[in-house]
A and B are shown apart, each in its own frame.
Chain A
Amino acid sequence: MNRFVIADPDKCIGCHTCEVACVVAHAGNNMFVQEESGADFYPRLTVVETDEVTAPVQCRHCEDAPCANVCPNGSITSKDNSIFINQDSCIGCKTCMLVCPYGAITMVPAHKGGQKQLQSGLRSNTSGAWSRKERIVANKCDLCEDSGKGPECVRVCPTNALQFIVPSQIEDSISRKRLASAQSLQQFSGFSRL
């Protein structure tokens, strides 16, 4: 079973610390020093705020991941109990974004070594000059797999609104519920057959 992060909307105060932490975890501290214009600030989870609910939303790492099933070139795979997007082979077709029932996938400019990646052939005409178009790729929660320390958003949330759910936790929880259920049957023991 896959691991995933999930938020408790009753605890979330909408401070966006998780989003900021997500960006720092993936870009390091140098995110504002690259020499390009515009703010490259692409968190892999999104805090949603309405009058009724406040909570970050992120990839659920579905067992039968719709995004992986529609990817035309196999860029989305199951890896180490998670659903992983290979941005190196992604062609930016956006199909995964359309089918994701959680809205957890966004399209972002691809980066390598702090530089935006440009396409080899595709050009665009902006403000009267032709230039190579940047590569755009699918982006979503990767459980901070590169850090080796688990999801950063969970660690930084000031109200502990985020939980990292791993399969063994679910198993334990279900075992406890079954045990409680079995114990609650005792009060009916010896009832006559209907």
Chain B
Amino acid sequence: MSYKDPIIHIDEQLCTGCRRCAAVCPVDAIIGEPGHPQTIDAHRCVVCGQCVQICTAYAADNESTTASRAVKLQERGQLPNVREPLFAAYSSGDIQKVKAVLADPKRFKVVQCAPAIRVSLAEEFGLPFGTLTPGKMAAALRRLKFDRIYDTNFAADVTIMEEGSELIGRVMSGERLPMFTSCCPAWVKHAETAAPELLEHLSSCKSPMQMGGALFKTYGAELDGIAPSDIFSVAVMPCTCKKFECSREEMSVDGCREVDLVITTRELASLIKDQGIDFIHLPDEPFDSPLGKYSGAGSIFGVTGGVMEAAIRTGYELITHEQIPNLQLDFVRGEEGIRTAEVQIGDLELKVAVVAGLKYVDAVLAKVAEGTCPYHFIEVMACPEGCVSGGGQPKLLLETQRKIAYQARKSAVYRHDSHQKVRKSHENPDIIKLYKDFLGEPLGHTSHHLLHTKFVDRSLKEEMS
């Protein structure tokens, strides 16, 4: 199955051609004259949704030239209760499909939420920016009739085990360095489009979402005694490109789609409202074991530098067999742009870089192509401050709110990490059990089958031939 829908759209009836979307597009995929409706070059577009976040051109209710609100909501795949004005730039919704499946008692419905959802979902219910609600989120999903509330954070812990081991192997052998992270699907799509000759530098790990999906339909299916084909797997993501990622042809395990549908934070909020669930007054409820138990390291994937920090926490201990002296690695934390650091791990001086914002990556790619890139490990996130600022997050209407919201969501992520009993992926008891009972060891045979992937050359020359 491949996703023919380009996912990100600009409604030509509403676009006024102000081109502020073109200014934030990291890959120059938005084309048009000022003052005229813009179009998106689907080949270049990385589906990051930053244009959806910035767009303020909206349908005034009294404009007779535009199709009716109800018709447009239906076309956009949104529920009729959405209260936002209809903005020109939007992402295709899948919430109507999810709602239909949830009403089907014959399906076994599994859900996972990305780390960045629990720090932003509450905004949609009028709570302050950065309100942390993992327990209410789990409770809301249970009331929506999901049979298992699993979590992407658990899968993020798995990713660290796999990616950390892969990094150590590559650093020791000196092969294919630097190694780039591969959890951001917009970055991966950009690498496949703009630098296919450098794809061997990407970690072969699937993203946490896809790893989670693969494990739910194998390990999880075994635990629950359910046939994988009966499981319907939904992922709630802060990201519009995850819709693209889950539809990639290779993202299947033993003939089943790993993740059947992806919905955004905003879509989940609209479904909670549609079902009349009083989110603010929900009790805190736990995630389901074992695929919903996570460490602090898994929960910081939602911010720029988080994958790097989680990887160093685990990598340090795997290499030195000693406790890492300080768990809070401030040198990789920060904002939009490129940050670099050198970390002393035993005898190894690990050189790392964190890229926040896809527009900054081309300079790094040029250095890699030249063979002059000094780093071992590079984290890339397409959105300005990582997933907390993703295209599927609650819409921020003003620039003045943007900085405040990102800061508050980031603080909430770090607060969540610091309150976890377990803060390193390799110490998560359910991860230890997963490897003992099912996967064997990181990079082992089962891991390769389920958790690792290959990338596709999407350059135009490849498509022409």
Which A residues contact B (CB, under 8 angstroms)?
13-17, 19-21, 23-24, 29-34, 37-41, 46-47, 49, 54, 155-156, 158
Known: A13-B34, A33-B126, A41-B85. A24 touches B397 (CB 8 A): yes
Bound-complex Cα distance A20 to B53 (A): 13
Known: A14-B35, A54-B35. A33 touches B125 (CB 8 A): yes
Contact status A32-B83, CB under 8 Å: yes
For B16, the closest partner residue in chain A by CB is A14
Contact status B126-A16, CB under 8 Å: no
B249 CB-CB contact with A under 8 Å: no
Which B residues contact A (CB, under 8 angstroms)?
16-20, 34-35, 56-58, 60-61, 69, 81, 83-85, 123-126, 397-401
Q: How far is the CB of A80 from chain B (nearest CB, A)?
A: 25
For B128, the closest partner residue in chain A by CB is A29
Contact status A20-B58, CB under 8 Å: yes
Bound-complex Cα distance A158 to B19 (A): 11
Chain A residues with CB under 8 A of B35: 13-14, 54
Q: How far is the CB of B14 from chain A (nearest CB, A)?
A: 9
Bound-complex Cα distance A13 to B84 (A): 22
Of A20, A31, A54, the contact of B398 (CB 8 Å cutoff): A20
10 contacts between A and B (CB under 8 A): A13-B17, A13-B34, A14-B17, A15-B56, A24-B397, A24-B401, A33-B125, A49-B16, A155-B400, A156-B399
Contact status A14-B18, CB under 8 Å: yes
Bound-complex Cα distance A39 to B17 (A): 24
Chain A residues with CB under 8 A of B123: 29
Q: How far is the CB of B33 from chain A (nearest CB, A)?
A: 12
Chain A residues with CB under 8 A of B20: 13, 15, 17, 158
Q: How far is the CB of B145 from chain A (nearest CB, A)?
A: 22
Chain A residues with CB under 8 A of B19: 13
Q: How far is the CB of B28 from chain A (nearest CB, A)?
A: 19
Bound-complex Cα distance A30 to B35 (A): 31
Bound-complex Cα distance A78 to B69 (A): 38
Contact status A156-B18, CB under 8 Å: no
Chain A residues with CB under 8 A of B400: 155-156
Contact status A21-B126, CB under 8 Å: no
Q: Which of B60, B61, B85, B124 has the most chain A CB within a 10 Å cutoff?
A: B85
Closest 6 CB pairs of A and B: A15-B18, A14-B16, A33-B126, A30-B126, A13-B18, A32-B83
Contact status B61-A39, CB under 8 Å: yes
For A13, the closest partner residue in chain B by CB is B18
Other 4 A-B pairs with CB < 8 A, given A14-B35, A24-B401: A14-B16, A39-B84, A39-B85, A49-B16
Q: How far is the CB of B258 from chain A (nearest CB, A)?
A: 33
Q: How far is the CB of A13 from chain B (nearest CB, A)?
A: 4
Chain A residues with CB under 8 A of B125: 33
Known: A19-B56, A29-B126, A41-B58. A156 touches B17 (CB 8 A): no
Of B16, B69, B398, the contact of A24 (CB 8 Å cutoff): B398
Q: Which of A17, A38, A46 has the most chain B CB within a 10 Å cutoff?
A: A17
Chain A residues with CB under 8 A of B56: 15-17, 19-20
Contact status B84-A32, CB under 8 Å: yes
Q: How far is the CB of B342 from chain A (nearest CB, A)?
A: 39
Q: How far is the CB of A51 from chain B (nearest CB, A)?
A: 9
Chain B residues with CB under 8 A of A158: 20, 399
Of B58, B124, B401, the contact of A16 (CB 8 Å cutoff): B58
For A31, the closest partner residue in chain B by CB is B83
Chain B residues with CB under 8 A of A33: 83, 124-126
